[in-house]
Amino acid sequence: MMRETTVGKAKGVLKNFLIEPFVPHKQEEEFYVCIYAGREGDWLLFHHEGGVDVGDVDAKAQKLLVAVDDKLTEETVTQQLLAHAPENRKQVLANFIVGLFNLYEDLYFTYLEINPLVVTSAGVYVLDMAAKIDVTADFLCKAKWGDVEFPPPFGRDAYPEEAYIADLDAKSGASLKLTILNPRGRIWTMVAGGGASVVYSDTICDLGGVDELANYGEYSGAPSEQQTYDYAKTILSLMTREKHPEGKVLIIGGSIANFTNVAATFKGIVRAIKDYQEPLQEHEVSIFVRRGGPNYQEGLRVMGEVGKTTGIPIYVFGTETHMTAIVGMALGQRPIPKEPPADAHTANFLLNTSSSAATPASSRTASFSEPKTAADATPAKKLKPGVPPAKATTLFSQHTKALVWGMQTRAVQGMLDFDYVCSRDAPSVAAMVYPFTGDHKQKFYWGHKEILLPVYKNMADAVRKHPEVDVLISFASLRSAYDSTMETLNFPQIQTIAIIAEGIPEALTRRLIKKADEKGVTIIGPATVGGIKPGCFKIGNTGGMLDNILASKLYRPGSVAYVSRSGGMSNELNNIISRTTDGVYEGVAIGGDRYPGSTFMDHVQRYQDTPEVKMIVVLGEIGGLEEYRIGQGVAEGRITKPVVCWCIGTCATMFSSEVQFGHAGACANQAAETAVAKNQSLREAGVFVPKSFDELGDVIRTVYDDLVASGVIVPAKEVPPPTVPMDYSWARELGLIRKPASFMTSICDERGQELIYAGMPITEVFKEEMGLGGVLGLLWFQRRLPRYACQFIEMCLMVTADHGPAVSGAHNTIVCARAGKDLVSSLTSGLLTIGDRFGGALDAAAKQFSGAFDSGLLAMEFVNKMKKDGKLIMGIGHRVKSINNPDMRVQILKDFVKQHFPATQLLDYALEVEKITTSKKPNLILNVDGFIGVAFVDLLRTCGGFTRDEADEFVEIGALNGIFVLGRSMGFIGHYLDQKRLKQGLYRHPWDDISYVLPEHMTM
């Protein structure tokens, strides 16, 4: 214990031991039980000889498949699993196994192995158990699981930075992952995308960098600038703790994003690089960047600029460079181009110069090398009774209509822009479904013309009103995707469903697959970006924005069809295929979960049956056995078209400890599931398999050139696509246009990660304990006021909060509340009474007293002048209080002001006026409104934060009355709540309190 031990390839320290009571038993009382999940259901393995010498249980054990949604019975267990078990133990074992299976299902286990299971006459004992639960089921099982900790695998320590990133990931809709492999390593990565992160790790290991690879991780799903900053600074902090004699490299890579704003995420990385400028230089860090996607040109420009300004070597590349080429550059095995080739396109969308609103003429709608076929869809086949309906070979055509579940306006607009540039006659989106609002219309653009699409509250209405729809694109959350998809499967007209959500529990996904197979429905996903059929249809954000659609020639079909797990890598395939062949005919990302709704072979078989497809590309990955079916299909002659395939995740066999990659399904549970074994098997079956991902494009080009040379593919003449206007919001994002703002604000900014009051982040407001007075100073006066000034503001709010139910404002509030009006209406009724006669004397008093004082009038002269002009002195006089019965509110404020204010010239002047007025009548005192008004002028003039002009401006624009309005609102709300709590009925004023004075002739 506490010594380094080697287990397999992993070296580590054994720190935890389980000590259990000894259970006396015989060898023949030991049994082996295992349950594990598969696509079709759950497998049960039982062997009548358990213990450490059980051997190869896969070969020896009795096996039973419990299909999805089937129930397990003791009779079935006894017949199919317990044939060799002792007769006197069969009933106990059958009962236990059924109970264990029910527990397994109820708690969403994916694997549960007991060895040995001991059954004696005294009872049943679990002596050793290994289990895995589906972490995505946390929202369903949290109450049953309790707080579950997931320790790192043996041989790798748990780092606080990993926990920090995991916490960020849990709080974000984006995906943030970090695994530290070797904190002393010199090769660090910061990769966007689950699939791309695996490819970069593969390439580093292929080029001999496995021992120096410091981390595995990925960020994806459009993280915010702040989240990317937090992620990047964690990486930079880790890599600048220990120096390496050869310096260090940071690879900031990624595939071509579908919807993530690359420039926005790069801003966060740039901030982190600037913060760590000195440590990065000290540790001789070189940075290599390769990225594509929305606004990537601006992101690369900013990244290049920070390299120039900081002096850190930063090499920047875009989509013109192969995705993993920067790895060879970083490891010194590939020359670094001095002038990276300029890309053939920019982020600018083409602008339509035509004044016509009609859809442009079609450029090409059939395969790039074939004339258009007469029919778009596969004809329906007659079914035999009891046989599940066959799934369609053609999922999408130029006439496909879809429903979109979720208020994903950006994705829908992207689909419509794609439709337009593909010369479709009409939009592919028929309607949207959004259960959180009523039925309404949503505005979109068709070219440069505005159109309206209906939005329905429930699916049934949408399907009934749009019988032409046969595709559903579901953006439902992981919590609601299962229920909404199950509902959709009840509508026979829906033939294809794309589920975008990531994190649906595996058990629920398997139920969806079973029902879809029974209905003959094709499911793409979950955890996918979707798919695309150039010239016809695209799912949601697939293919990225229009600039990438144009660059990858996705507006017209080519001759190559592909299938991938990763959404980001599918966009990279679009780029690779467009540069090495005549383009993509169709591409599908089946999703990164362990059980995708449709498999690689489902789509490869469709492509085999599609005449326009001349070659097939597959990007497989570690985990599962599905790729072997492709090899079998090729070897048996069922797949006759050339297939190019590469399985990512080859690095996994080089790591000493287990690493969970970005996709849930990217984990090998047996040797056959490794990427290395799959690639070898595919190569032996006759599939074209490159030596690495680096060579994938070269192999695709070679196979394509051979097809062209043999006449199978005849490249057609390129036709320019129609032009599409750019959205205003995106043009502004790219800095192409400017527009005068409708509003200007200088007090608050909510756009960033943190709310800002007058330049101060909200966290600083609380850290400095500024209080309500300090916040009011920031929002009203754009100043950080002295502590005494903040306290004075809070005191003013406290003393003006209420003055009983009899005053006009409170009275109005009470009458409204008793009339059944709501809080806002009642409060407004009270506030509308505030004016010169009630509560609004603060501004008037401040103006009158400061005007007289500034003009040099003596107190007596001021009083006489106001009397001569027939004007009341605002802030003087009280209905109840007098010089003999002073207002304690004024006394409290006066004591504070005299003690803390630097000077009180205007207050002293007002008190001189009070001496004169009270000598005439004792209730003509300086009341609380007047006091606050003159004291606030003293505050503004003497606290050091304002010029004289600024102080006078705040008085002029009515800032001081705001104190009374804000303070008295608290009292009015109190009166409203009081009346509701007391359940007071409608108020009617009593007759005896009204003097009815009518004209005499009306009383006769």
Which residues does the annotation mark as catalytic? 663
H or E segment at 813?
Answer: helix 808-818
Provide the sign of the torsion angle of the four alpha carbons 293, 294, 296, 302, taken in this order: negative
Query: Which tokens hold the place of 162?
Result: 């990993």
Query: Whose structure tokens read 């990276």?
Result: 340
Whether the CB-CB separation of 883 and 918 falls below 8 Å is answered with: yes
User: Which amino acid, residue 91?
Assistant: Q
Extended strands (E) in 197-317: 215-220, 248-252, 285-290, 314-317
Query: Which tokens hold the place of 400?
Result: 């496909």
In angstroms, the CA 559 to CA 104 distance is 47
Query: Which tokens hold the place of 57?
Result: 């249980």
In angstroms, the CA 295 to CA 869 distance is 68
In angstroms, the CA 294 to CA 265 distance is 11
Report which DSSP code applies to 237: H
- The length of the chain is 1004
3-state SS, one letter per residue, for 707-742? HHHCCCCCCCCCCCCCCCCCCHHHHHHCCCCCCCCC
Report which DSSP code applies to 435: T
Give the contacts of 906 (CB within 8 A, at least 6 positions apart): 849, 850, 853, 934, 935, 937, 938, 941
In angstroms, the CA 181 to CA 613 distance is 42
CA atoms within 13 A on the CB side of 380: 7
In angstroms, the CA 934 to CA 909 distance is 9
Report cis status (omega within 30 of 0) of the bond before 313: no
Conformational region of residue 193, where left means phi above 0, alpha means psi within -120 to 50, and beta covers everything else: left
In angstroms, the CA 890 to CA 263 distance is 57
Whether the CB-CB separation of 206 and 692 falls below 8 Å is answered with: yes
Whether the CB-CB separation of 925 and 887 falls below 8 Å is answered with: yes
Report which DSSP code applies to 688: B
Report cis status (omega within 30 of 0) of the bond before 116: yes
Provide the sign of the torsion angle of the four alpha carbons 54, 58, 64, 65, taken in this order: positive
Report which DSSP code applies to 991: G
Integer Rg of the chain from CA: 37
Whether the CB-CB separation of 413 and 476 falls below 8 Å is answered with: no
CB atoms near residue 406 (< 10 Å): 23
In angstroms, the CA 777 to CA 932 distance is 16
